Chains A and B, each alone.
Chain A
Amino acid sequence: METTEQFRLDIRNWLIANCPESQRQPIIKDQQIWAGRRRTFYCEDAKLWFERMRDQGWTAPSWPTQYGGGGMSLEQAKILDQEMKALGCRPALYDIGLWMFGPALLEYGTEEQKQEHIPKIVRGEIRWAQGYSEPSAGSDLASLKTRAEDKGKHFIVNGTKMWTTQGDKSDWIFCLVRTDHQAPKQQGISFLLIDMATEGVDARPMELINGDHEFCQTFFDDVKVPKNNLVGNINEGWSVAKALLKYERNMMSIMSSIVEKEEGDIIAIAKRYVGLDSNGKLSNNGLRAQLSEHLMRAQGDALSALRLYQQHKSGVIDGGLGLTMKYLSTSEQQHKDELLLAIMGNRGLSWHDQTFSISEKKTVKNWAYNKAHTIAGGTSEIQLNIIANKALQLPV
């Protein structure tokens, strides 16, 4: 049995030998390698790095090797993650399938479904999108109306999904659809996989408050879907969706660790925009205190993440720590964005004009975009409801 330290050393040596220098720089949004039929590489190094990681199965290090995964234990996968972070290696592949859908399919899918979809996710060949929310089903997701009618060998799907991330660039979509209109809300829902190249699927980008078009509204007009694209039993899709939610939280933490690279920078930014006095203190006392408050809260949250990990590892889980994380980290991100704007003053007020630098524009756009954090994946208010009822056992 290989010791943990030897394993760590082997991983580190492999990464040093195989990760090109250009792929050890902090990741920029435009240079992320997203999965899919229309996958592109902005440079040769990125392609090389992706292919090397893919061939090891390390795009999905803890998935079984029979589906192309890395076959690592969770502990080993964490070591890989730690070593990649320590060396500054960029994530080799980005995909919702990799973070959320794949783990759920491994848990709930048929052998045939796993054989068909998992290897393509590991190899980054298919980009997955999520089809949950609808124009009139947001926080109250179970009121969704998109329906799939049983036509014997296939379903016919009609309806519309909102907030399909990069829907126009995605290949497949996992959807919640209504298959029984008579049953109580949550009991008539099924979990269905739809190839977005099918006739009748149309993903139309929506413009957001930051000028971007990351999300689509996706329309389904008499779309024919084979029966074996159903995951789990008919009318039991809600439990699959709930299982997937826990992976969504993992995804949030992956996403936040990607952002982490910039985290320390807020101090440098504050020094640059506010300046230091002769004692080496930020010239603006109010901003200095606000900066400490933000950094302390953020450090507290990072320690909570570590504590949660240690709890799981030791098997001593006390109470609802995990339930607090989404609410806290998303609110804190918004505090940080507001603080960045305050620090930048008038230089934090636009992403249009050439007066502003690229990073200034990016910061302001993120400030606007990150308003979504406390809404997407369960609004803050829903999180508080869950905490009150589950962790605090307050009466309903």
Chain B
Amino acid sequence: MSMVLNEEQRLLKDTIDDFLSTNAPTDQLRRLRDTHDDKGYSIILWNQLTELGVPSILMPKEFGGFGFGFKGLGAVMQSMGRNLTASPLFSTVVLGASAIELGGTASQQQALLPTIAAGQLTLALAIDETHHHQPINTAVRLKERNGQLTITGEKVFVLDGHSADKLVVVVRSSGNPGDTKGLSLVLVDSNAAGLQTNRIQYMDGRNAANIIFNNVRVKQDQVIGELGGAHTIVQHVLDRGVIAISAEMLGGCQEVFDRTLQYLREREQFGVKIGTFQALQHRAAQMFCQLERSKSAVLSALSSLDKNSPDISLQASLAKTLINDCYQHVSNEAIQMHGGMGITDELDIGLFLKRARVSLQILGDSDYHKNRYAQLMGY
């Protein structure tokens, strides 16, 4: 399958680009940040996006979805990256709904997916337990006593965990940290008894939560997939997430690069445009090369999800590593090339710098993915 968008996907991309640049420019993020908005995203915007069908973009047609596929999702994520749009799309649809779609029973799917597609339910994936992403090391236990399942422990840095209606929690029902066997997925209401949520606001204005589970009761029908056998589902959900966040980063990286180029074309010093200086031209050209290479990896990874290729995990780690390093580099250069103005909050450049750093950590930094790539390649 091609890395080039087809007619239908291009139309979707144009629609979303238009819509977001009008309705969710960076001003909106500033307002959410500065007012410490409860949700951290605009409900009005999410409702509008729902009307446009965005939450159904991946969903199978039988649950009210559009089936635009991952390349369609990639176009939306890129647009959100360009506009620094905060929305529940990533946590709720890419991570949460994927877990239900891939691991849920028919009745779980019937009960939840159409509600998500209608924008009525938000989810968050509670997976990390330390400040580094290391899913296999999950230690929080799902215990069973007299037929009653309970969770005790703490999940940290749960993206959008402060506002989600339900949590998809990765827990260990058997085995030890490091084992692939023994992982389970459970669905927990965010207002369940014994659950304590502490909101974290990141520097980019987005939110997460540390969540303490104190004997939280879980019924059988809250378990997604087989008890102790969720590793494959978790992997697949994470691969989708890694690739989707890479697409968002690609959009953000392209936007901050474009803004920097525009500045190089306009800003004058020593009586000439600073873009005429070869020292800056070469650095800009090198950024462009790195960006195009990363773009190929991200587009190919999106396409590998649509094809359900056997090498999705490899492509996910490839895409995330390349775009991590690229966005980090380009956002640093963007600040430097904007000179003194680059370090003021008045310009948006700093917003991209901060979003880059936060998204760098989401579902694994470059070290994590280089290591995973090496494992998958067998060395």
A residues touching B (Cβ–Cβ < 8 Å)? Answer: 267, 270-271, 276, 280-282, 288-289, 291-293, 295-297, 299-301, 303-304, 306-307, 310-311, 314, 316, 320-321, 324, 327-328, 381, 383-385, 387-389, 391-396
Contacts and interface: CB of A to CB of B under 8 A. Distances in A.
Contacts of A282: 374, 379
A54 to B, nearest CB: 35
B261 A392 contact: yes
28 contacts: A267-B378, A282-B374, A289-B370, A291-B374, A292-B371, A292-B377, A296-B370, A296-B373, A297-B322, A299-B297, A300-B293, A300-B296, A300-B297, A300-B322, A301-B293, A303-B299, A304-B296, A316-B4, A321-B292, A324-B288, A324-B293, A327-B285, A383-B285, A385-B282, A385-B285, A393-B265, A394-B264, A395-B273
Given A271-B379, A321-B292, A324-B288, 6 more contacts: A281-B375, A288-B374, A295-B377, A297-B322, A304-B296, A324-B293
Contacts of B2: 310, 314
A55 to B, nearest CB: 36
A292 B379 CA distance: 9
A276 B374 CA distance: 12
Interface in B338-379: 367, 370-371, 373-375, 377-379
A148 B215 CA distance: 92
B155 to A, nearest CB: 28
A225 B281 CA distance: 43
B321 interface: yes
A295 B373 contact: yes
A392 B282 CA distance: 11
Interface in B258-308: 261, 264-265, 273, 275-276, 278, 280-282, 284-286, 288-289, 292-297, 299-300
Most-contacted residue by chain B among A289, A301, A395 (CB, 10 A):
A395
A267 B280 CA distance: 37
A394 B281 CA distance: 7
B46 to A, nearest CB: 30
B45 interface: no
Assign chain B's interface to a size class: 35 or more
A279 B255 CA distance: 42
B59 interface: no
A388 B282 contact: yes
B284 A394 contact: yes
Contacts of B379: 267, 270-271, 276, 280-282, 288, 291
Nearest to B318: A296
A209 B158 CA distance: 56
Nearest to A282: B379
A282 B282 CA distance: 36
A117 B64 CA distance: 64
B4 A311 contact: yes
Contact of A394 (B261, B321, B370, B371): B261
The 5 A-B pairs at the shortest CB distance, nearest first, are namely: A388-B281, A387-B285, A303-B296, A384-B285, A300-B293
Contacts of B295: 307
B3 interface: yes
A384 B4 contact: no
A72 B273 CA distance: 50
Interface in B90-104: none
A392 B300 contact: no
Contact of A296 (B5, B282, B321): B321
A394 B4 CA distance: 27
A292 B370 contact: yes
A267 B378 CA distance: 9
B373 A310 contact: no
Nearest to A311: B4
A286 B96 CA distance: 36
A384 B281 contact: yes
Given A288-B374, A291-B374, A304-B296, A328 B261 contact: no
B288 A392 contact: yes
A280 B318 CA distance: 21
Contact of B276 (A288, A299, A396): A396
B321 A280 contact: no
B289 A395 contact: no
A310 to B, nearest CB: 5
A276 to B, nearest CB: 7
A30 to B, nearest CB: 30
Contacts of A311: 4
A381 B288 contact: no
Contacts of B3: 303, 306-307, 310
Most-contacted residue by chain B among A267, A306, A394, A395 (CB, 10 A):
A394
Nearest to A304: B296
A292 B367 CA distance: 10
A280 B378 CA distance: 7
A324 B299 CA distance: 17
Most-contacted residue by chain A among B261, B280, B289 (CB, 10 A):
B289
B322 A292 contact: no
A307 B291 CA distance: 14
